[in-house]
Amino acid sequence: MGKKILILSDNNTGGAGVVAAESKRALEEAGFICDFFFASQFFKFNPIRYLYNHKAQVLLRNKLNLYKPDFIMLHNYDNLFSPSILFELKKYKHRNSTPIIMTLHDYHVVSASNSLTYFEKSKKMFFNELPNLYTLLSKKLDKRSYIHGLARILQWYIYYKIFKLDKEIDVFLCPSKFIEGFLIERIGKNKALFLPNPCRVDYKPIRKQLDVINVTFAGKLYYEKGIYEFLKAIEGYKSRKLININIAGEGEYYDLVKSLAYIINKNKKLNVNINVLGRVNKEKLIDLLDISHFILLPSLCYENSPLTLIEGAYRSCRIITMNYGGMKEIGNNISGSILLDRIDKDSVRTMLDEITSRDDTSFTHNEKDMKFLNLYSSNLYSLKLFEVLRSKGNFNLAEK
């Protein structure tokens, strides 16, 4: 019988949900038996449970005792589950010698500011280094209020500084060198492993005509993703060539994005058309990427290793993204990428002038591009993940 793995995450959607599903697929293909345990099946966000979620501990205890996993794989857990579930994982781990492996999707483990950002009035600012307690207390970490940020600090210092529960995690999988650097700064090299998340689309070189410029954004429609600010920057911009901007996703900014798109689309003389598509499935996303010349991510946070950029590159899209965090890491490793320092009218309109003036009809990745893109292949991810499990689980290939 195959070794059993329990995969835990707050949500089955978003970046963490996609990677959780991909890891399950890869592990099951390798012969493991996998099961999910998502907090969103049981909870909505609650400020009390954010600090201590007793119900999650009870549910997890029952799940562990019933399923009896040989490995535990964590994704995001700090928002709905709460780090209090680590008490239960610690007990199970020490009773059964069960390795715990975590994929880092944000900066929660390295800092109480899980995005490494703070606000000065309404402007989002970046921490350039890991902030200490005094710095965290002196900043507004959450756009809503100082108290919301204080809850983050309280949660983090209780579970990671007082109870040191993060030490129960045996391996941290780091999808980018950017986040790996912060993790090593905080806990050292021994538990850090660079392993990019697997790309869920196949690589395909595609020749594309440039009579119309197609740009695609695919992601959640939140403030942090920057797409609303991007649209505000192009409102009133007159393009020399027709630009279609496809926006695939849903979220709390959906209505705002839809309303602004309507205003922009009313003036046909501007040659800019915004298509707000809502959530699309994988097949529809690939169809969009295949006709797109650029994949867009104007995020206002550092990001980590945004797969949407890799997915676009796998379908011969050039990249438009930001010159910081995990986005910069990807952009600097793929030729033809456009990196923006900020989202404002001057920066965005200068970039649009540049892409509409190009005459080339195709984009071919060079050898350096392909070496980097191959790091995100599903086969490499499966191989390295199995190596991690084998090294921590003390079993041979025939025993899995």
**pLDDT tens across 28-81, in order?**
988 899 999 999 999 999 999 999 999 999 999 999 999 999 999 999 999 999
Residue 353 has pLDDT above 80, yes or no: yes
Q: Residues 246, 288: contact at Cβ < 8 Å?
A: yes
d(CA 215, CA 73): 35
What's the chain's average pLDDT?
Answer: 93
Q: Which residue has the higher pLDDT, 392 or 84?
A: 84
d(CA 341, CA 376): 26
Q: How confident is the model at residue 371 (pLDDT cuts 50, 70, 90)?
A: very high
Q: Residues 395, 386: contact at Cβ < 8 Å?
A: no
Q: How confident is the model at residue 397 (pLDDT cuts 50, 70, 90)?
A: very low
pLDDT in tens, 170-223: 999 999 999 999 999 999 999 999 999 999 888 988 888 778 999 999 999 999
pLDDT given at position 362: 57
Residue 93 has pLDDT above 90, yes or no: yes
Residue 396 has pLDDT above 90, yes or no: no
pLDDT given at position 365: 85
pLDDT given at position 83: 97
pLDDT in tens, 278-293: 999 989 999 999 999 9
- In whole angstroms, what separates CA 363 from the centre of its chain? 26
How many Cβ atoms are within 10 Å of 329's Cβ, its own excluded?
Answer: 19
Q: Is 20 helix (H, G, I), strand (E, B) or coil?
A: helix
d(CA 226, CA 216): 14
Tokens 């697929």 sit at which residue? 25
pLDDT given at position 33: 95
Domains and CATH numbers, the chain: 4-198+378-399 (3.40.50.2000), 213-375 (3.40.50.2000)
pLDDT in tens, 9-19: 999 988 899 89
pLDDT in tens, 294-336: 999 999 999 999 999 999 999 999 999 999 999 999 999 999 9
Average pLDDT over residues 357-362: 67
pLDDT given at position 201: 87
pLDDT in tens, 115-139: 999 999 888 899 999 999 999 999 9
Residue 9 amino acid letter? S
Q: Residues 249, 278: contact at Cβ < 8 Å?
A: yes
pLDDT given at position 299: 96
Q: Pick the range with the lowest mean pLDDT from 36-45, 335-344, 356-365, 385-394.
A: 356-365
Average pLDDT over residues 108-114: 95
pLDDT given at position 170: 97
Q: Residues 228, 238: contact at Cβ < 8 Å?
A: no
